[in-house]
Structure 1
């Protein structure tokens, strides 16, 4: 990351945010320009932060044991 990202509309420096995409089964980080915080800019994005749209998986559900695993061994 050699240089700061800038708003394409007003040219003001913007923060760098990390996005991710899946490549060959692995999540790869990508650094992109964040939203513009200049209230006079057309690309201004009001608010403090983007809402979280992803949910982390919860604990795995308990499964019933397989019938063969409960069979008596001779």
Structure 2
């Protein structure tokens, strides 16, 4: 199975793929997104121990 890797939009370095989730029709659905950039020379760099800024269990898509 071949998957495209995610890259940092600022520096182009490959980044990890992380799982977020959102609720669709009452069920939690996984959403695979690009993780934070770990290149210390990049403008979008996120320190290894830094928080993602999201609450655990909070969905990434707001239901309306």
Range into which the TM-score falls when normalised by the shorter chain: 0.7 to 0.9
If each structure's helix is expressed as a fraction of its own residues, which one has the higher value?
A: 1
Q: TM-score, with normalisation over the residues of structure 1?
A: 0.64
Equivalents in 2 of 1:48, 1:5: separation in Å?
21
Q: TM-score, with normalisation over the residues of structure 2?
A: 0.74
Q: Which string of whole-angstrom CA distances, capped at 9 and with x for unpartnered residues, describes residues 22-71 of structure 1? A: 0000000000000000000000001336468337xxxxxxxxxxxxxxxx
If each structure's strand is expressed as a fraction of its own residues, which one has the higher value?
A: 2
Equivalences, count: 55
* Residue pair 2:38, 2:48 contacting (<8 A) in 1 also: no
Query: CA RMSD, aligned part only?
Result: 2.1
